Structure 1
């Protein structure tokens, strides 16, 4: 069988598969922004707790059941047809990606006329080729990764002192409690011993909270005391939320890898070159953004993961905007006080 005749024979099934894939892809386009509008965004990999699969609507499920009943694979001829269809559809996808790289490359005329986000050419895993780093970027990235590798250790005097510093910044007019006291729950720790809440957040999440309290004290206090908007009866715990945000940022920016290759991670490298405290400032932006999402969704404690997922989505979109050379250029930065 010649290649041309094969294409002709299986052209319709290939088109059908591509169209079905397009419809499936469109179902995965979603985003709830702070203003309640729905924006298109591709799901990206990240925290395990944020990666539950999207559910199809009822009509889609019923259609799939009907197709299964009407088109059983009951003979070898249909199995062979599926085999060839799969092969040719993959060839078409590979050819299309190659053509996109050639025609839409940054050096081509069309590439200069049409502006596509870097993730558009590789939507499957949102990975791009990491750029070469300047000596300054290498140094700052290495320093940040070293911070991320430090776990919180409640037996270390340095870590104990950091917890005490956070309390004094949060409650300057109150007496410092012991390191194990129910008073810590008022700050949003889940128990009387804050050291049990860090887990994957590490010591950097405590540093992020201290930085937030020192750099943007007004925003920190308003979030700590839940002073903005109409709050839920069952609110998110402030301190534990901060730990989750630190962990989410490390995953989103691909900082555990040797060199970030996610779209957001590569964008962040530029911000890091501009300011060595870019991660800490981004933490403050993300925390303020998360609270805005929380209020807009009128969320309660059990919806925290959904709010954090929406926050990540919005933050990824802002990092991908053009003319963003520092964290302070992000639109959400203006929410900080």
Structure 2
């Protein structure tokens, strides 16, 4: 995929370069247009048509996913929004099914790794995306999430589960916007990746970071930025291998 995208980017034909930025592209028309401009004979190159269609679908799909993720991130969590509050309550009930939340504003939220009595303040940076990532993880991989929450209270290597989760949303978001995740999505999906695919990347990052954190044996939580930076560099290096798909035994895709 890297080669067709690079070819379009460096093309001297404006119509071809626009394929990388046009949000209203018609894939079938674009394929015909490219083959005509490049005078490609389908009888001589019978697979070129379908290969180009998949390539363009992935290029456009990645850009659309970036826009969708950004639109979720821009939505600020609001305690006045009943839908937002319902998602937050679902997060609590999934991770703490046997413990009743005594009130909406409560020090109990620190048991999930939030900073204070009101989780709303912790979602400011990543907006609703932070909550949706967390909720997707704990709902899809509940046993693993509960196990990690328990591990996060380790007396020496403990970390704030929810806060780390929101930081990993920021990591996943930055890798998406920088284009690092193209390798993963181009290898994973023949067409347009969906928001669910991004959630799965987040789940992968959370599970792998938890392992990485304990392997690093940090002195205390003040080493979080150092460990996170080292982890990020490792993942980006892995994505430089053009065959990489971010999967592990828990997160299949």
| TM-score (normalised: structure 2) | 0.69
Q: CA deviation at 1:178?
A: 1.8
Task: Confirm whether residue 294 of structure 1 aligns to residue 174 of structure 2.
Answer: no
What CA distance in whole angstroms lies between the structure 2 residues aligned with 1:227 and 1:130? Answer: 47
* Partner residue in 2 for 1:311: 231
* Partner residue in 2 for 1:334: 249
Equivalent of 2:167, from 241, 244, 252?
244
What CA distance in whole angstroms lies between the structure 1 residues aligned with 2:62 and 2:226? Answer: 33
Aligned positions, number: 199
Task: Confirm whether residue 284 of structure 1 aligns to residue 179 of structure 2.
Answer: no
What CA distance in whole angstroms lies between the structure 2 residues aligned with 1:176 and 1:295? Answer: 30
Conservation of the 8 A alpha-carbon contact between 2:65 and 2:193: no
* Partner residue in 2 for 1:184: 109
| TM-score (normalised: structure 1) | 0.53
Flag structure 1 segments of 5+ consecutive residues without an equivalent: 1-105, 108-117, 119-128, 255-261
Flag structure 2 segments of 5+ consecutive residues without an equivalent: 7-16, 21-55
What CA distance in whole angstroms lies between the structure 2 residues aligned with 1:221 and 1:274? Answer: 32
Q: CA deviation at 1:197?
A: 1.3
Q: SS at the partner of 2:146? A: helix
Equivalent of 2:240, from 316, 320, 325?
320
Q: Residues 274 and 225 (structure 1 numbering): CA distance in 2 closer, same or farther, change over 3 Å? A: farther
Q: Once superposed, what is the RMSD of the aligned Cα atoms?
A: 3.0
What CA distance in whole angstroms lies between the structure 1 residues aligned with 2:162 and 2:146? Answer: 12
Equivalent of 1:167, from 76, 87, 92?
92
What CA distance in whole angstroms lies between the structure 2 residues aligned with 1:147 and 1:214? Answer: 19
| Partner deviation per Cα, 1:281-326 (whole Å, 9 max, x = no partner) | 11111111111111111112111111111221122122222323xx
More off after superposition, 193-202 vs 179-188: 193-202
Q: Residues 233 and 187 (structure 1 numbering): CA distance in 2 closer, same or farther, change over 3 Å? A: same
* Partner residue in 1 for 2:182: 266
